């Protein structure tokens, strides 16, 4: 019996990979032993949910970073010359960072941001580093044949597990959390033997910014989108809208929030919308459902008194911390119905734009606040310094609203004709969603079976 390590340090792969079609496709005959490697925080919950005769859940501790850890992480995060890298650096500076730190970060980005040589050097140094005793003990105990890293940028679990696999010459396959990862989180410190990416855009970014050979990159689609083919989950509109206390005759705009971590004043979009309806610039039968990001705080409390805005949050939390979020079938069914029964999706820079496009909904990007805001903490920076979103906008698959008037106009036009910008949405599907067929989890399983010769 062969043993495979699968990292699951975050909620996203737990939901979209392990709870989807992947596990039952990957090991249908139970001839594979799977060791899920997670964090101490997630251990009990994942052990309870996933453990079985052929699945074991193990955890590794978050060890205090050494000086060399910090240096390598710092270089990898900043030695990438993208708009999003600058976005992150400026956000950290405005959150209280020092000007000297900003100067060093910007210098690294500008001088080494497109350096294949630097990336190669850091990756060689990374492979020479010794594993923690916990990681070494896991490898000695289970002697895995292969390692599947579900979020290869995760420094807490995936990087040390991948590093030790490469040192021991064990086959590795990697994946990313989302479509922004190659342009947002620095360069990969450990490159797997094969890399699965969700779309063609990520493949292009992997070659351009990570200097990855196209041969190791395979486009498999978004496993999250597999949930959107579960037609049996779709409820009658009248029944589902009861969750929001809404009359089914209402027209619904779904706002996909990013959380105050990225968009501190996103709650003002709700205030603007409320004002537009009150002023008669939008009809009174239109409501906005403000869906909070499950992992971040959003200003929902102040929306409870609004007439035309409904605050919404739907996830499972293991504790009072939003970082403990998880989403299972019930939560994904809720998300599916939320989009299906809405007339359009609105967001400043969330992946909800792709979810809306996937399910055939018009999408509006809001690049403004209620009152003037410094650029580096404003929504406009998503328009000019969010590399993946710039690429999405270029497809023409979504409307851009840079002030309340443009917002009202875009809503009115899409309500009148939902097929506006359909050609752009189809282009966005080709670049960002294909293959879109409900079989991403199956493709991931088959690729691993082939690579690990199972």
What pLDDT does 179 receive?
95
What pLDDT does 288 receive?
98
Tens digits of residue pLDDT in 95-153 = 899 999 999 999 999 999 999 999 999 999 999 998 889 999 999 999 999 999 999 99
Cβ proximity of 223 and 16 under 8 Å: yes
Contacts with 397 (C-beta within 8 Å, 6 or more apart), sequence order: 357, 363, 421, 424, 425, 426, 427, 428, 429
For residue 169, give Cα distances in angstroms to 68, 133, 145, 449: 23, 18, 10, 18
What whole-number percentage of the chain has pLDDT above 70?
100
What pLDDT does 298 receive?
87
pLDDT higher than 90, residue 44 = yes
pLDDT higher than 80, residue 57 = yes
What pLDDT does 163 receive?
96
Q: How confident is the model at residue 321 (pLDDT cuts 50, 70, 90)?
A: confident
Region of 331 (left: φ > 0; alpha: ψ -120 to 50; beta: rest) is alpha
The CATH number fitting domain 227-433, selected from 3.40.50.2000, 3.40.50.10790, 3.40.50.970, 3.90.850.10: 3.40.50.2000
Q: How confident is the model at residue 73 (pLDDT cuts 50, 70, 90)?
A: very high
Helix axes 158-167, 116-128, angle to 10 degrees: 80
pLDDT higher than 90, residue 68 = no
pLDDT higher than 80, residue 64 = no
Cβ proximity of 87 and 386 under 8 Å: yes
For 97, phi and psi rounded to 5 degrees? -70, 160
What pLDDT does 305 receive?
94
β-pair type (146-149, 171-174): parallel
What pLDDT does 411 receive?
98
pLDDT higher than 80, residue 304 = yes
Mean pLDDT of 284-312: 94
Q: How confident is the model at residue 67 (pLDDT cuts 50, 70, 90)?
A: confident
Cβ proximity of 91 and 220 under 8 Å: no
**pTM for the full predicted model:** 0.94
What pLDDT does 265 receive?
92
The CATH architecture to which 2-64+116-221+439-451 belongs is: 3-Layer(aba) Sandwich (3.40)
Q: How confident is the model at residue 66 (pLDDT cuts 50, 70, 90)?
A: confident
pLDDT higher than 80, residue 332 = yes
Tens digits of residue pLDDT in 399-450 = 999 999 999 999 999 999 999 999 999 999 999 999 999 999 999 999 999 9
What pLDDT does 29 receive?
72
Q: What is the largest CA-CA distance in the chain?
A: 69
Q: How confident is the model at residue 88 (pLDDT cuts 50, 70, 90)?
A: very high
Give the Cα separation of 113 and 119 in Å (integer).
9
What pLDDT does 394 receive?
97
Region of 186 (left: φ > 0; alpha: ψ -120 to 50; beta: rest) is left
Average pLDDT over the chain, rounded to whole?
Answer: 95
Q: How confident is the model at residue 323 (pLDDT cuts 50, 70, 90)?
A: confident
What pLDDT does 63 receive?
73
Mean pLDDT of 322-342: 94
Give the Cα separation of 236 and 170 in Å (integer).
50
Mapped onto helix, strand or coil, the DSSP state of residue 376 is: helix
Q: How confident is the model at residue 260 (pLDDT cuts 50, 70, 90)?
A: confident
What pLDDT does 158 receive?
96
Mapped onto helix, strand or coil, the DSSP state of residue 41 is: helix
More confident residue, 30 or 137: 137
Tens digits of residue pLDDT in 355-394 = 999 999 999 999 999 988 999 999 999 999 999 999 999 9
pLDDT higher than 90, residue 30 = no
Give the Cα separation of 62 and 40 in Å (integer).
8
């Amino acid at each position: 019996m062969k043993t495979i390590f699968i990292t699951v340090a975050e909620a996203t792969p737990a939901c979209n990979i392990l709870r989807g079609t992947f596990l039952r496709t990957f090991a249908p005959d139970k001839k594979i032993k799977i060791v899920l490697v997670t964090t101490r925080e997630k251990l009990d919950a994942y052990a309870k949910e996933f453990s079985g005769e052929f699945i074991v859940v193990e955890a590794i501790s978050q060890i205090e970073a050494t000086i060399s850890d910090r240096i390598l992480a710092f270089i990898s995060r900043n030695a990438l010359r993208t708009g999003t890298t600058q976005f992150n650096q400026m956000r950290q500076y405005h959150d209280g960072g020092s000007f000297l730190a900003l100067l060093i970060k910007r210098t690294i980005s500008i001088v080494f941001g497109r350096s294949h040589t630097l990336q190669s050097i850091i990756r060689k140094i990374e492979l020479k580093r010794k594993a923690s005793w916990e990681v070494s003990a896991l490898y000695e105990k289970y002697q895995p044949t292969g390692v599947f890293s579900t979020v290869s940028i995760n420094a807490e679990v995936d990087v040390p597990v991948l590093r030790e696999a490469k040192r021991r010459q064990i086959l590795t396959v990697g994946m990313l959390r989302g479509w922004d990862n190659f342009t947002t989180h620095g360069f990969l410190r450990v490159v797997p033997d094969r890399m699965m990416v969700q779309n063609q855009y990520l493949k292009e970014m992997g070659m351009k910014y990570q200097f990855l050979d196209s041969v190791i990159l395979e486009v498999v689609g978004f496993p999250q989108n597999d949930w959107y083919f579960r037609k049996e989950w779709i409820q009658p509109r009248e029944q589902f809208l009861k969750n929001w206390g809404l009359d089914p005759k209402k027209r619904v705009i779904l706002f996909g929030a990013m959380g105050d971590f990225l968009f501190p004043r996103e709650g003002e979009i709700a205030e603007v919308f409320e004002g537009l309806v009150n002023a008669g610039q939008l009809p009174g039968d239109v409501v906005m459902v403000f869906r909070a990001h499950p992992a971040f705080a959003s200003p929902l409390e102040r929306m409870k008194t609004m007439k035309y805005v409904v605050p919404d949050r739907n996830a499972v939390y293991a504790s009072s911390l939003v970082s403990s979020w998880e989403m299972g079938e019930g939560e994904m069914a809720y998300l599916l119905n939320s989009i299906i029964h809405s007339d359009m999706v609105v967001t400043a820079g969330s992946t909800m734009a792709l979810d809306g496009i996937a399910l055939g909904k018009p999408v509006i990007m809001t690049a403004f606040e209620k009152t003037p805001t410094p650029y580096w903490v404003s929504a406009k920076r998503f328009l000019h310094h969010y590399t993946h979103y710039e690429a999405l906008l270029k497809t023409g698959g979504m409307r851009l609203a840079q002030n309340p008037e443009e917002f009202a106009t875009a809503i009115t036009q899409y309500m009148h004709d939902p097929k506006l910008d359909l050609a752009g949405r189809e282009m966005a599907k080709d670049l960002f969603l294909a293959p879109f067929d409900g079989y991403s989890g199956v493709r991931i399983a088959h690729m691993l079976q082939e690579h690990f010769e199972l």
